[in-house]
Amino acid sequence: MRSHLGPITFLILLIIYPWVVSDSYYQHLMILVLMWVAIGSGWNLIAGFTGQVSFGDAAFFGTGAYASALLAHKLGVSAWWGLAIGGFVAVIIAYPFGWICFRLRGAYFALATLALNEVMRHIATIWESLTEGMVGILVMQTFVSKVPYYYIALVIAVMSLVTVELVINSRWGYYFVSIREDQDTAESIGIDTHYYKMTSLSLAAFLTGLAGSLYTNYMGFIDPSIVFSLHDISIMAILVGIVGGVGTVYGPAVGAFIMVAVSEIFRTGGFGFLENLTRATSSPLVATITKYVKEAHVFSFGILVILVILFMPNGVVGDWKVLVQKFRSRRSRAPEG
């Protein structure tokens, strides 16, 4: 129980967050973070724990998103039903997805998932009679305030983390990690590797699809380039997982927080700090820097990927001890005895 004290404290903080922070912009950011916790946890299950590094999770996100959107748009049913079925529809997609991709291993699996992601995006764009193509789908938003969305997102995020925690301590978890470590060995100790890879993928698809449905309901508008986006969803999911810590329960939570923060800091120039600085100093240099920083957020993602992979490939949570040691050794200048 003691090891859970930290997360429980955070949970309490998160629960009271909207009461303390009433600025809807910051509430929006936290909703994004919570959404990414779910997506990152899903990716972590299939990639971090089972070792099948997917580059195509947007396929599930988009499926969940469109499930919700189409229910509202075509059937006139509330998009909230999408939350209930979005996850399941994504699982249905996971089956052919896995069937095609799991015959491959390693980087070729990764490429296949990437290709499928793109195929789905193309299909969604071209099949206009179903999805309205690039015009996109508008959904009526149920709530004006962000707070209800926040709590729903919080429930989904917590559910994701709890699911991962339960899974990795169970037979499924042991089987997933065995597959990751050595698929041949796993087979020879009786693990039906295909079945368990599919199980892991289904779980990931469910969580990611759920997040997609939430997105539709919350943002009110989706189109294929947003919800099936390779860079904004699939690769972001990988970054969330890697930066936070692959193969750990709370890694995606840390990663989600960092990635959303980094993204927003660049997009807004330090939450408006740089703009204020420009105004305060009236310096054209600062103004230029501000402009470039704001446009550089994709660039900064790229640099972040490079740095994290070079120096911290196991993420913040994974390399925590290493980070702490480096920090300590820099502080204390005492010579070795």
Partner 1 sequence: MAFFETHDMVKHFGGLTAVNHVSFQVEQGQIYGLIGPNGSGKTTIFNLINGYFPLNGGEIRFEGSRISGLKTHQICRKGIARTFQVVKPLKRMTVLDNVIASAFLRCSTKAEARALAENTIEFCGMTGEADKLAKSLPIAWRKRLEIARALATKPSLLLLDETAAGLNPSESEQAIQLIKRIRDSGITIIIVEHIMKVIMTISDRILAINHGTVLTEGTPEEVASHPEVIAAYLGEDYRA
Partner 2 sequence: MEVFLQTLVAGLLKGGLYALIGIGMALIMGVMGIINLAHGQLMMVAMYVTYCLFHYLGVDPYLALFGSMPTLFLIGMAIQRFLLNPLMRVESILPENQVLMTVGIAMVLTELARFIFTSNYLSIKTSFSTKAFYLGGLSFSAALCVAFLFSAALTVLLFWFLIKTDVGRSIRAVAQDSEAAQLMGIDAERIKVITMGIGSALVAAAGTLLLPIYYLFPDIGGPFTRKAFVITILGGLGSAVGAIFGGITLGLAEAFGATYIGMDYEDMIGLIIFILVLLFLPGGFKRLTKV
Which residues form the interface with partner 2 (CB under 8 A)?
47-48, 51, 53, 100, 103-104, 106-108, 110-112, 115-116, 118-119, 122, 126, 180, 231, 235, 238, 242, 246-247, 292, 295-296, 298-299, 301-306, 309-310, 313-314, 318
Given candidates 129, 188, 282, 332, which one binds partner 1 under the rule CB under 8 A? 188
164 three-class SS = helix
- Residue 185 binds which of partner 2, partner 1, none (CB < 5-8 A, kind-dependent): partner 1
| Assigned token pair, 237 | 């999911």
Given candidates 9, 142, 145, 185, which one binds partner 1 under the rule CB under 8 A? 185
Which among 119, 118, 120, 115 is positioned nearest to 101, based on CA atoms? 115
Q: Tokens 């990931």, residue?
A: 204
- Residue 236 binds which of partner 2, partner 1, none (CB < 5-8 A, kind-dependent): none
The span from the CA of 241 to the CA of 250, in Å, is 10
Binding mask 211-250 for partner 1 (x = CB under 8 A): ----------------------------------------
Q: Which is nearer to partner 1, 193 or 225 (CB)?
A: 193
Task: Work out how close the CB of 307 gets to partner 2 at its nearest, in angstroms, rounded to a whole number.
Answer: 8
Q: Which is nearer to partner 2, 211 or 246 (CB)?
A: 246
Q: Could you tell me if residue 316 is left (phi over 0), alpha (psi between -120 and 50 degrees) or otherwise beta? A: alpha
The span from the CA of 320 to the CA of 324, in Å, is 6
283 binds partner 1 (CB under 8 A): no
Task: Identify the H or E element spanning 221.
Answer: strand 221-222
Residues 149-178 that bind partner 1 (CB under 8 A): 169-171, 174-175, 177-178
The DSSP line for 239-255 is: HHHHHH-TT-SSHHHHH
- Residue 161 binds which of partner 2, partner 1, none (CB < 5-8 A, kind-dependent): none
The pair phi, psi for residue 138, each rounded to 5°, is: -100, 135
- Residue 291 binds which of partner 1, partner 2, none (CB < 5-8 A, kind-dependent): none
Q: Which is nearer to partner 2, 176 or 218 (CB)?
A: 176
Interface size with partner 1, residues (CB under 8 A): 19
The span from the CA of 199 to the CA of 216, in Å, is 26
Q: Which is nearer to partner 1, 196 or 215 (CB)?
A: 196
Q: Is the dihedral of CA 255, 59, 110, 156 positive or negative?
A: positive
222 three-class SS = strand
| Assigned token pair, 29 | 């950011």
Given candidates 99, 143, 192, 276, which one binds partner 1 under the rule CB under 8 A? 192
Which among 63, 259, 58, 86 is positioned nearest to 156, based on CA atoms? 86
- Residue 240 binds which of partner 1, partner 2, none (CB < 5-8 A, kind-dependent): none
Cβ(139)–Cβ(216) below 8 Å: yes
- Residue 171 binds which of partner 1, partner 2, none (CB < 5-8 A, kind-dependent): partner 1
Cβ(218)–Cβ(149) below 8 Å: yes
Q: Which is nearer to partner 2, 85 or 305 (CB)?
A: 305
Q: Which is nearer to partner 2, 12 or 303 (CB)?
A: 303
142 three-class SS = coil
Q: By the criterion CB under 8 A, which residues form the site for partner 1?
A: 169-171, 174-175, 177-178, 181-182, 184-193
